[in-house]
Structure 1
Amino acid sequence: MSTLNQHLATHTGDKPYMCGECGYRTAKKSELSRHMRTHTGEKPYKCDQCDYSATRKYHLDQHLANHTGDKPFKCDQCDYSTARKHSLHRHLARHTGDKPYMCGDCGYRTARKYDLSTHMRTHTGEKPYKCDQCDYSAADKSTLNRHLAMHTGDKPYMCGECGYRTTQKSTLSRHMRTHTGEKPYKCDQCDYSAAHKSNLNQHLQFTHAQW
């Protein structure tokens, strides 16, 4: 397909290139080639300073910034800076509150197109990320990575206070509240607060429920 025809497809919505594994469709052959790497695991872009490899060149470019410390993308509203352009866009959305991407099925809104694509899989049931050690599959890569840690036993997130280790960053964040005493979940009917959302839900159920 010529470059002009690919451009015209953005107007017509035509997506002639389809993945035989999961049904993903796109207007560009190059996009299909990149998509196929989510199934094959191919990572042709290699870092020359460590063993990192990536499916896309811009992912490698972003990784290389970790070695150089370069953070060229700067917020014009605060002193935040980052090595990744998309990280800056995500950060800026915190200032503006803008969430331009909306789900047509349930009204979910987000600041990132990628998050909307991931969300849509809750409706379609698509799970393109496959475990190579069992038949588990996931809708997004981070969920697959958490699952893989069950096979490897890897627990990269460690508490500096007590040595507690976990496979998930979010679990470590929750654990840290046992040290800091932070209780971010507030009851809107009394002065109760909790370190975990599940505790707040239990409080609401047993203390304020309408019987």
Structure 2
Amino acid sequence: MFSKSIKLNVLLAAAALAPSLAFAHTGVGQTVGFLHGFSHPVSGLDHVLAMVLVGLIAWQIGGRALWLVPLTFVSVMAIGSALGMMRIALPFVEAGIALSVIVLGAVVALGIQAPVAIAAGVVGLFAIFHGHAHGSEMPAAAGGVAYAAGFMLATAALHLAGIGLGYLIGKVSEQRGAVVARSAGGIAALAGIALLTGLV
């Protein structure tokens, strides 16, 4: 089952990256693109919090959500990045990113057990904003495909970190694990409010 989900992830990621093929360059641009792409999600608190929260939500729901929720985020983010690379305007990108931290943090804090389809829809909505920000901030010298591969890999790693954090919290204490996870979600939601209001 797990190997099938990995194959599906790879196929969907390749399909989602297809629109950015026109932006590919050869040689140095590929290396620069990958490094810039990989560093972009991990260089901003807003992106890091949102990505880890997606992983925590996947862990919180469990089952198919463990792979479907992060996969949805990465796939839709690739579409959003293609829009950004093509300079197609999207309103309220920064507000959408900050709201993603608030909403996803609240979902974790409240321990909401949403159906997988709804959880995937919510993270997919916010993934558009994150992807657009990545795509629109691509350096001119970067190769589009390599850049997208970099930020998609970094995003997936942050999702895995969130899932791992959830499992770690659960292992530390079965009784208090939910409280710790919900507290982390609440703190993240407050950080999102600070990001939205410009305090951070």
Query: TM range, normalised to the smaller chain?
Result: under 0.3
Between Structure 1 and Structure 2, the one with more strand by share is 1
The structure number with the bigger radius of gyration is 1
Between Structure 1 and Structure 2, the one with more helix by share is 2
Task: Return the structure number with greater relative CO, CA threshold 8 A, min gap 6.
Answer: 2
